Every structure is written in C-alpha cells, then in structure tokens.
Chains A and B, each alone.
Chain A
Amino acid sequence: MTESTTATISQSGLAEAVFEESGQNVNLCYQCMKCAAGCPISYAMDYKPAQLIHALRLGMDDLVLNSKTMWLCAACETCTTRCPQEVDVAKVMDAVKIIAVRRGIKPAIREVGCFNRAALANIKKMGRMYEVGMIVGLKMRTLALFKDMKLGMKMFMKGKLKLLPSFTGARRTWRIFQRVKTIEKKD
C-alpha cells in the first residue's frame, strides 16, 4: 500500500491542478516505467506515459498541455492497474485533457477532440448514442468526409446501423448535462 502524503505537492501549477481535478499525486511516481512499458499506444505518443508524469513533476506545463499523449490514450487502464505506486495514470490523462480544454488549448490530436465533442453533443440531444447522427457530426467537424465510407456502407447493408434515432430519455439527459455544467461552474 502506498502512503499518500498529499501535503507534498510539487511547485508545478499543472501538477496541482491535476491533483485538484483527479486526486492523483504525480509525486508518488518513482519512474519505474511500468506504465510506459505496458501502454499499447506508447509507440505513437510523443511522450510515453511515464515521461508525461515526469514532465508534470518538473513543471513543464506547456509541454504536457500540448502533448499528443493524453489524446492518444485509449483509456485501457493498463498503466493504472500496474503502477506499483498506485498512481492512477489513466485518470491523470483524463485530468490533463480536461484542464487543457478548460484553458483553451487545442487538442494536439484534433480528430479526438472533435470526436469527443461530436459524441457528447449527440448524447446530450438524443439521450442515447445515435451512431449515424454522430458520424455525420464527426465528419462535419473533421471534414474527413470519406473516411470509413466503405465500411459504413457495409455496416449499413448488414443492418448494423440503426436508421432512426431513439429519443428515449433525451429531455432527462439534456437536463443532466445542464445541471452538471451549473455545478461545475459553482465549483
């Protein structure tokens, strides 16, 4: 078990913001590299998870906030599960994304930011994910109009895509989104 001494947070503004957002203290990290070794996506990242954690500790806030790493993270939770210091690395990834967006920093992997926004807009309006609508929303945002066109057509032919949206719970969901926004503003 890790004894978390929450009083000793680093000087870095971002590390502290991450702590506020996620309850994760990156100063517990002793750079064993297990998170980097197990991360299936680290090959495509500009900084491996352990490096991102270290950069946070060193106060390299700009580097972290503009990194591709957290936007490529697939939230597979391998790092979180294996960290001997019980740093929830996946939660840190989420926290850095949330803070970056809050500070108006454009996601280094643009499509992922677009996807998140398109998906949430879809859920907010519909209550349930309506894939066809979400895909259209994503294409409008990324302008990658023909990406996966063939695949989409085939899925459609196989009856894998729902033609009509369901609006079950749409109003309730919309209200949850609104209330969450109000509570977060208050905080």
Chain B
Amino acid sequence: MTAKYAYYPGCSLHSTGSEYDVSFRAVCKKLGISIDEIKGWICCGTSPAHSSSKLLSLALPFENLCLAEAMGLKDVVAPCASCFARLKTAAYEAKEDPKIAEQISEALDKPLPKGMNVVSPLEIFCNRPDISKAPTTPLPGLKVACYYGCLLTRPSKIMQFDECEYPMAMDTILRDMGITTLDWSYKTECCGGALAMTRTDVVIKLTHDILEEAKAVGANAIAVACPLCHVNLDTRQEEVEAEYGVKYDLPVFYFTELMALALGVRADELGLQKHFVSTETLLSGV
C-alpha cells in the first residue's frame, strides 16, 4: 500500500528550517513515500495565536486541513513539532466539542472535514518495517542524543504519540539506520522555543542545560525534529558558550538529515553548510 500524504511544511520549513524541508523530501524520495505539498497553505498561528484567541488558534490550522481534504487526502504530515501540535489540537478540539467545531466552520466559511489524520514524519518512518534494510552509508562514529522537545509528545491526551516522558521513536529510527543513539534525561525538556525572540536569557539557560547534559552522556551530535529547537540549539550555541564560558561544538542535525546521510544522500545536497555549528569535522571522521 502506498499511502499519499498531504505535506504541511509550515513557515519555518520555508525559511529558517529549510534544511528540514530538504532532508525530509530527500528521505521520502529514497524510501518511496509519496508526499504532496498542500496548495495555498497558511500559517498555523503557533503560540501568538493560542495566547490570544482560542478560536483563531483552531481556525488557522483547520484551514489547512480543509485544503488537504480538497486535494483528496486525509493523512497530513507536519514535520515542524509546533505545527504538528497545532494541527493535531485543532482536529482534537473540533471532535470533542461540537460548539467550537461550529464556530471554526463559521470562521472558515465552509464545512469541516472529518476524520483527518495528522502525523509526524517520525510516525511514518517508525511504522515502516523495511526501514532497517534501506541504509547504504554507515555512520559509525556518531553518538547521537535524540532531543524530542516539548510538543511532539505533549499533551499526551491529544498527541497520542509515543511515551510522553521518554519517547523512543527517533532513537528507534536512527538505530535502524545503523546510527548509535544514547540514553539521556533531557529528551523532552523544553528549550524555551516560544521565548526565543523575547526572553533570550531564559532560552540561553534552558539551551545550556540541554547541551550540558548531552555532552555529559558523551554525545557528539544532537538530533532534533523541530525547527524552533534547531534555532535554539544550533544557532544560539555560540551565545550559550560565550555566556557560560564553555565549549560544546555539538552539531545539531534534523533527524531527517541523519537518515538522508545514511541513505546515501550527499551532504552538500542537504544544505548542511547552513548550520551554525559546523558538521564537517564530525562527518569527515565517519
């Protein structure tokens, strides 16, 4: 069975997190997973919307589910953890509360599609039994701490994704790809994503704690599944180092970049040069 997924990239994957978009597409191509970008998608509204209006925060994501249904697709894949959470929350709230469903429908001026299924790429790859046969390029030197962040698994009632305090989906996939991943206790700690542009001091502290713990368990790389986590851990790593007088040099990969490398995609096709923390030394050693 070859299911086709409506692909919702969200704003970040078209800008600061474009490497996630590129690597996700590359992995889907390699594994024969068919994805079709939702035409005319709009922003999910993210934190500013749910902090300001419940209805707006549900209507914006739902517009995208409507667009997906208009393409004849029921399964929607959203790689950004924040978009994933917003789309999933919208579908959940509309199902639970007929009154809010009615209001969303009124706000969008159209009937709401039913039975829409929102998934993360982790769920797609995790459920493919053939995946461990796919890797072609060994990456033996890597010791990866998989960082899931907040919104993939929380709140568990809505997300229904993996074990909420200690998820394993990303670890399982990367291990199937022949990559070593480590046990560590900061898998689902928060990096302060929503405060990135306003209270940088908080973000620097939380990011420091995560980097510190990853280093302490012996990781030489971190894998993420969220463009906001990537900005904080990669882009701000130098600031954290300066603030705390430490040196981490921990490359931060989207887990799809590691998958793509293991599947034989060349590093220069993945836009790894866009990362702030260089991946070159680490990858040349493997």
Any A CB within 8 A of the CB of B236: yes
A123, B107: Cβ atoms closer than 8 Å? no
Bound Cα distance A101, B156 (Å): 29
Tell whether A180 is near chain B: CB-to-CB under 8 Å.
yes
The docked-state distance in angstroms from the alpha carbon of A144 to that of B186 is 32
Task: Encode A101-144 as 1/0 by CB contact (under 8 A) with B.
Answer: 10000000101101111011001001111010001001000000
Instruction: Give the distance to chain A from B227, nearest Cβ to Cβ, in Å.
Output: 10
Chain B nearest CB from A64 CB (Å) reads 16
Output the nearest chain B residue to A95 by Cβ-Cβ distance: B54
Chain B nearest CB, measured from A187 CB (Å): 8
A126 to B228 alpha-carbon distance, docked (Å):
20
Cross-chain contact of B154 among A80, A111, A115, A166 (Cβ < 8 A):
A80
Please tell me if the beta carbons of B14 and A98 are within 8 angstroms of each other in the complex: no
- Tell me the bound Cα distance from A124 to B106 in angstroms: 18
Any A CB within 8 A of the CB of B117:
no
Interface SS, A side: helix
B51, A97: Cβ atoms closer than 8 Å: yes
Q: Mark A19-55, 1 if CB is under 8 A from B, else 0.
A: 0011000000000000000001100100000000000
CB distance from A54 to the nearest CB of B (A): 21
In chain B, what residue has the closest Cβ to A93?
B51
Closest A residue by C-beta to B96: A23
How many residue pairs link A and B with beta carbons under 8 A? The number is 168
Complex contacts, A101 vs chain B, CB 8 Å: 52
Are the CB atoms of A176 and B107 closer together than 8 Å? yes
B59 in contact with A78 (CB, 8 Å): no
B108 at interface by CB-CB < 8 Å: yes
Q: Kindly list chain B residues whose C-beta atoms are within 8 Å of the C-beta of A183.
A: 55, 103, 106-107
B residues less than 8 Å from A176 (CB atoms): 56, 59-60, 63, 107-108
Complex contacts, A61 vs chain B, CB 8 Å: none
Can you name the residue of chain A whose Cβ is closest to the Cβ of B206?
Answer: A40
| Residues A109 and B15 in contact, CB atoms below 8 Å apart | no
Do the beta carbons of B16 and A168 come within 8 Å of each other?
Answer: no
Report the bound CA distance from A97 to B195 in whole Å. Answer: 15
Assuming the contacts A22-B54, A74-B194, A179-B107, asked whether A109 and B199 have C-beta atoms less than 8 A apart, the reply is yes
Which of B15, B46, B106, B197 has a CB less than 8 Å from the CB of A148?
Answer: B197
Q: Are A44 and B202 closer than 8 Å at their CB atoms?
A: yes
> CA of A169 to CA of B59 in the docked complex: distance in angstroms?
14
Is A74's CB under 8 angstroms from B195's CB? yes
Q: What are the residues of chain A within 8 A of B190 when measuring CB–CB?
A: 40-41, 74, 76, 78
A17 within 8 A of partner (CB)? no
Quick one: given A72-B195, A74-B193, A123-B43, are A160 and B15 in contact (CB under 8 Å)?
yes
- 21 chain-A/chain-B pairs, Cβ below 8 angstroms: A40-B189, A40-B190, A40-B192, A41-B190, A77-B150, A81-B154, A81-B165, A112-B198, A112-B199, A123-B60, A128-B42, A129-B12, A151-B236, A161-B15, A166-B14, A168-B42, A169-B42, A172-B42, A183-B103, A183-B107, A184-B53
Give the 7 A-B CB pairs with smallest separation, nearest first: A77-B154, A76-B190, A129-B11, A119-B48, A76-B150, A169-B42, A111-B198
Chain B residues in the interface with A (C-beta under 8 A) = 11-12, 14-16, 18, 40-43, 45-56, 59-60, 63, 103, 106-109, 150-151, 154-156, 164-165, 189-190, 192-195, 197-200, 202, 206, 235-236, 239, 273-274, 276
